[in-house]
């Protein structure tokens, strides 16, 4: 619960910083760039290239330099009439329209000390310093982290206030809202890229949120009406035809408890081992170990219980009155049950 509270709080605080500080700064810069007008002349405007007006300068291309990366881009090196050299980064390839080759004359436009776009004759291409749309990254990260952190905060709140309702490590009262939060996280990360403004992104989230809420409500109703029982998971044993080595641990105050993280099952034996191949350092499970039931993980289980990506199941056992837990991926539980099945004696007693 403490981990969920800390992670959720950090996510929400980072989201607030991104949305209220970083994104607001990006939006202010975009509005200032869109409102900028052309400079009258260098002599009339103090500050030269570093002022808030658009300063257009004729320049010649010296060379281009391709930038290695997943997205094609290149550096454009130019020299102005007064001998000033500078460079700017453009998306695409210099061999593609608009073609950029050495000796061409272009017009570069400065704003606040950086080249914001380049005019190739009749084609204008914006540089990577174009501030329009910079808010999208901060908005997407902020919305995604906000919804993601809210899911963890809800889990912490419910477990802190209502943990006696269910001892499951992943009760539906926590799991279902968290699934809804993940859906909104994905929506929040995508909305700014699918729209052209922050308001439009929020409207898209507002339109889709009732759909997510309705789906979670229907799922909650179906789960509530389903008989709960005693959490026992019905599985049929499956005797392994050959030796199987897989992830799993045996927990309890018994000598064969394994902290190495692997189980070895064959038709008549079960063992724990730290060896991924299952060949060395094996601790055999005695035949006195008796399976009781298979159930989901509980938050009251030992804290070193593995999770296996939320796909773990727990086999409750007893060994001469000592409680033992076997934890492994749900797909491996039938092998564990099969290896623990009593085998018929080779020489049964005569009647």
pLDDT at res. 162? 60
Q: Give me the phi and psi of 146, to 5 degrees please.
A: -65, -50
CATH number at residue 84: 2.40.50
d(CA 256, CA 325): 12
Q: For the packed helices 135-162 and 172-194, what is the interaxial angle rounded to 10 degrees?
A: 170
Please indicate, yes or no, if residue 202 is contained in any of the structural domains: yes
**Count of H-run helices and E-run strands, the chain:** 6, 13
Please indicate, yes or no, if residue 28 is contained in any of the structural domains: no
Residues 10 and 138 in one domain: yes
Please indicate, yes or no, if residue 230 is contained in any of the structural domains: no
d(CA 167, CA 301): 9
pLDDT at res. 280? 82
Residues 114 and 185 in one domain: no
Please indicate, yes or no, if residue 64 is contained in any of the structural domains: yes
Residues 108 and 42 in one domain: yes
pLDDT at res. 154? 85
Helices (H), the chain: 2-17, 23-35, 135-162, 172-194, 198-225, 333-340
Please indicate, yes or no, if residue 117 is contained in any of the structural domains: yes
Residues 142 and 215 in one domain: yes
Residues 297 and 318 in one domain: yes
C-alpha closest to that of 11 among 143, 182, 205: 143
Please indicate, yes or no, if residue 237 is contained in any of the structural domains: no
**What's the full length of the chain, in residues?**
351
Q: Give me the phi and psi of 241, to 5 degrees please.
A: -70, -25
pLDDT at res. 351? 42
Q: Which domain holds residue 54?
A: 36-126
Residues 78 and 100 in one domain: yes
pLDDT at res. 177? 85
d(CA 156, CA 133): 36
d(CA 248, CA 259): 9
Residues 296 and 325 in one domain: yes
CA distances, 246 to each of 226, 273, 297 (Å):
33, 10, 19
Handedness of CA 160, 166, 171, 174 (dihedral sign): negative
Please indicate, yes or no, if residue 293 is contained in any of the structural domains: yes
Residues 153 and 10 in one domain: yes
d(CA 336, CA 271): 10
Residues 249 and 336 in one domain: yes
How many structural domains does the chain have?
Answer: 3
Residue ranges in the chain whose pLDDT is less than 70: 1, 41-50, 162-173, 223-230, 258-260, 342-351
CATH number at residue 254: 2.30.29
Q: In what order do the strands lie in the sheet with 85-91?
A: 85-91, 73-80, 55-67, 105-111, 114-120, 123-126
Tell me the pLDDT tens digit for each residue of 233-287: 888 888 888 888 999 999 988 888 865 688 989 888 888 888 888 778 888 888 8
Residues 8 and 153 in one domain: yes
Residues 18 and 145 in one domain: yes
Contact, 289 vs 324, CB < 8 A?
Answer: yes
Please indicate, yes or no, if residue 30 is contained in any of the structural domains: no
Q: Is 288 helix (H, G, I), strand (E, B) or coil?
A: coil
Residues 188 and 265 in one domain: no
């Amino acid at each position: 619960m403490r981990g969920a509270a800390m992670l959720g709080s950090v996510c929400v605080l980072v989201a607030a910083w991104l949305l209220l500080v970083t994104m607001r700064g990006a939006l202010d810069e975009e509005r200032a760039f869109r409102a900028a007008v052309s400079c009258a002349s260098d002599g009339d405007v103090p500050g030269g290239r570093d002022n808030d007006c658009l300063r257009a300068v004729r320049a010649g291309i010296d060379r281009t330099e391709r930038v290695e990366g997943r997205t094609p881009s290149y550096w454009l090196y130019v020299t102005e009439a007064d001998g000033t050299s500078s460079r700017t980064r453009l998306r695409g390839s210099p061999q593609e329209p608009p073609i950029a080759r050495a000796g061409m004359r272009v017009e570069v436009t400065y704003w606040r000390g950086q080249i914001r776009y380049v005019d190739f004759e009749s084609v204008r291409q914006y540089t990577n310093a174009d501030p329009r749309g910079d808010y999208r990254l901060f908005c997407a990260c902020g919305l995604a982290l906000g919804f993601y952190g809210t899911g963890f905060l809800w889990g912490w709140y419910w477990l802190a206030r209502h943990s006696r309702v269910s001892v499951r490590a992943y009760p539906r009262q926590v799991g279902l809202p968290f699934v809804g939060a993940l859906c909104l996280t994905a929506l929040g990360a995508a909305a700014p890229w699918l729209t052209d403004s922050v308001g439009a992104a929020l409207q898209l989230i507002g339109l889709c949120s009732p759909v997510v809420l309705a789906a979670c409500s229907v799922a909650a109703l179906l789960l509530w009406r389903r008989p709960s029982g005693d959490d026992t998971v019905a599985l049929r044993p499956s005797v392994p035809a050959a030796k199987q080595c897989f992830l799993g641990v045996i927990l309890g105050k018994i000598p064969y408890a394994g902290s190495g993280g692997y189980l070895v099952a064959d038709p008549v034996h079960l063992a724990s081992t730290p060896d991924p191949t299952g060949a060395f350092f094996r601790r055999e499970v005695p035949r006195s170990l008796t399976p009781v039931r298979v159930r989901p993980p509980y938050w009251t289980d030992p804290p070193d219980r593995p999770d296996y990506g939320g796909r773990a199941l727990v086999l409750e056992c007893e060994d001469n009155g000592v409680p033992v837990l076997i934890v492994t991926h749900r797909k491996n539980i039938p092998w564990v049950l099969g290896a623990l099945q009593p085998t018929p004696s080779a020489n049964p007693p005569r009647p």
